[in-house]
């Protein structure tokens, strides 16, 4: 049986966070997308903010944001008007996309000793004639 990777990431926030209760399902990021988003997030230009609002909005599959009990469309315009919300979703999205969610089942053996006896090696001559 093979492993089938989901196409979406589910974002949530801890109970003590201002956005606790917010649930956002996002499309996965490619490495190229991650690089572009990180670059644009480091810039503070109107162009970068517009790009980030559009990219985040277009990548939201579902979310549970409401106003006066009515669902809110995750449009670039809505996100452009709420810098903190957009930044929090972006940071969570990039952090979740770049992390491994489940711990490894066993410890790595990289760097561990095999228990075999070590054998001294002769150093190789640096002369091309030897």
Per-residue pLDDT tens for 4-62? 888 899 999 999 999 999 999 999 988 888 888 888 888 888 888 888 899 999 999 99
What SS3 state is found at 16?
coil
| pTM over cut 0.85 | no
- List pLDDT tens digits, range 89-130: 998 988 888 765 555 455 545 554 545 554 555 555 555 555
Q: Scanning the structure block, which residue is given the tokens 């790595």?
A: 108
Number of Cβ within a 10 Å radius of residue 1: 3
Strands (E), the chain: 8-11, 24-27, 60-63, 66-67, 70-71
Q: What one-character DSSP code corresponds to residue 117?
A: P
């Amino acid at each position: 049986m093979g492993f089938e990777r989901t196409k979406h990431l589910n974002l949530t926030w801890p109970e003590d966070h201002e956005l606790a209760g917010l649930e956002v399902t996002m499309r996965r990021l490619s490495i190229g997308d991650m690089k572009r988003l990180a670059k644009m997030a480091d810039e503070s230009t109107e162009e970068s903010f517009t790009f980030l609002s559009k990219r985040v909005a277009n990548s939201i599959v579902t979310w549970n944001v409401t106003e006066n009990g009515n669902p809110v469309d995750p449009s670039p315009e809505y996100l452009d008007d709420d810098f903190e919300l957009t930044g929090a979703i972006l940071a969570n999205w990039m952090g979740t996309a770049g992390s491994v969610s489940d711990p490894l089942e066993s410890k790595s053996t990289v760097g561990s000793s095999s228990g075999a006896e070590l054998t001294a090696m002769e150093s190789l001559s640096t002369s091309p004639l030897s």
